[in-house]
Amino acid sequence: MPATMTGPPTSDQFEEVSCYACGESSCHDLLTGQDDLTGKPGDFRFVTCASCGLAYQSPRLTIKHIGAYYDDEYIAHRKETEWGILTRFYQRGMDKHDRQKDQLVSRYVQLQPGDRVLDVGCGSGSFLQRLRQRYQVAAGGVDFKNLTHLPFFDGVEFHEGLFYEQPLPQDHYDLVTMWHFLEHDYDPVRTLETTARILKPGGHLVVEVPRLDCVSYRLFGKRWPGVQAPQHTVLYSKKMLLKFADRCGLERVDYLPYGAFPAYFYLFAGTAFKIRKGQGINLRKAIYPYFLGQLLLTPVLWFERYLNLAMQTIIYRKPV
C-alpha cells in the first residue's frame, strides 16, 4: 500500500487470523472499527473467540500493508514541537507522561547506572532518554518504524522491525517496558516468550495496554480510542491480559487497573470520535478544547486509578 492512500484497503491486503490465545478460528462479531484518529479509509472487523473469549481483529492487514497507518500523522510519530500559545502546556504534558512512566517503574525496579533497559514500541524515544539521563542506564529501543531522526535517540541503541525477530541476547536486560505496544503486536505470545528469554534472572517486565472491560469502552463502543483500528490487533480485558502473560514463564508481581497514560485522553478522544464518525480529528484544533476539558475534569481525574476508566498495567519478574 502506498504511503499516500487514495481509498480503503482491498481484500488481498488482509489475512485471516486465528485466536492468539487458543488458536481456534471460530468467532463472533464484536464491532467494526475505523481509523477515527486520522480518518484514513477502511472498515476493520473485530471478533470475539468462541472458545476463550479473546477480542481481536480478523481479518487484519498484513505486515506489508499496515505501514501506511503508521505515517507521520500517527500520534506517537508526530513531529510537531510548536503548538502556538499551548506549546508550553503540550511539552509539559509530554514530560509528565514520561515522569509517570518513570514513577510507576520505580515502585518495582531500582535502576542503577549500567543497567540495561529495553523499551519495545519506543516511539519517539523520550522515555528512554529520561532513564538514560536520570539513571545512567544503557538504553535500547525497538520500533516498527525508524524514528532515529528524532532528538531523543542520542546515545540510545535502536532496533528497527518486529521485536521477536531482533537478534537480542539471552539473559541481557534488567528491565523491558511495553507502553501500549502489546495491543499492536502480530504475535503477542511470541513477544512475551522473547521477553522471558532476554530478561536477566530477577529482571522485570512492565506492560501497559488499554482495558476492554472498562468504563470508557462502555461509553464509546466502536468509537472507543482503545479500538484504534487498524493498528490494534488485540483488545485485552483484564482476564485475557493476565491469561496471556501468566503463561510466559515469568512471575506476576502486580496488576494495576490504571497506567501512566492519561485516561482523560480516552474520554476526550472518544467524545470527538463519536462526533466525527470516522472522519478523523485535527489535532492542531483539538488541542485547545483538550486542555480546557482536562482543566474542568481535574477533580474527577484525581481518582482515575480507582475508576477503571481506560488502562491497565502488569508487572512481571523473571525468576532467579
User: Which amino acid does the sequence have at 24?
Assistant: E
User: Is 296 a residue whose pLDDT tops 60?
Assistant: yes
User: Is 77 a residue whose pLDDT tops 50?
Assistant: no
Task: Write out pLDDT tens, residues 222-275.
Answer: 999 999 999 999 999 999 999 999 999 999 999 999 999 999 999 999 999 999
pTM of the model: 0.92
Which grid coordinates belong to 239? 482476564
More confident residue, 284 or 142: 142
Task: Write out pLDDT tens, residues 49-70.
Answer: 999 999 999 999 999 999 888 8
Which residues are CB-neighbours of 144 under 8 A, at least 6 positions away? 67, 70, 121, 160, 161, 162, 184
- Side-chain-side CA neighbours of residue 218 (13 Å): 7
Per-residue confidence (pLDDT) for residue 86, from 0 to 100: 52
Q: Mean pLDDT across the chain, nearest whole number?
A: 92
Per-residue confidence (pLDDT) for residue 48, from 0 to 100: 98
How many of the other CB atoms lie within 10 Å of CB of 229? 25
Averaged over 297-303, what is the pLDDT? Answer: 86
Nearest to 78 by CA among 147, 181, 131, 128: 147
Task: Write out pLDDT tens, residues 176-195.
Answer: 999 999 999 999 999 999 99
Per-residue confidence (pLDDT) for residue 299, from 0 to 100: 85
Parse the chain into domains and list their residue ranges: 11-317
Classified by CATH at the fold level, domain 11-317 comes out as Rossmann fold (3.40.50)
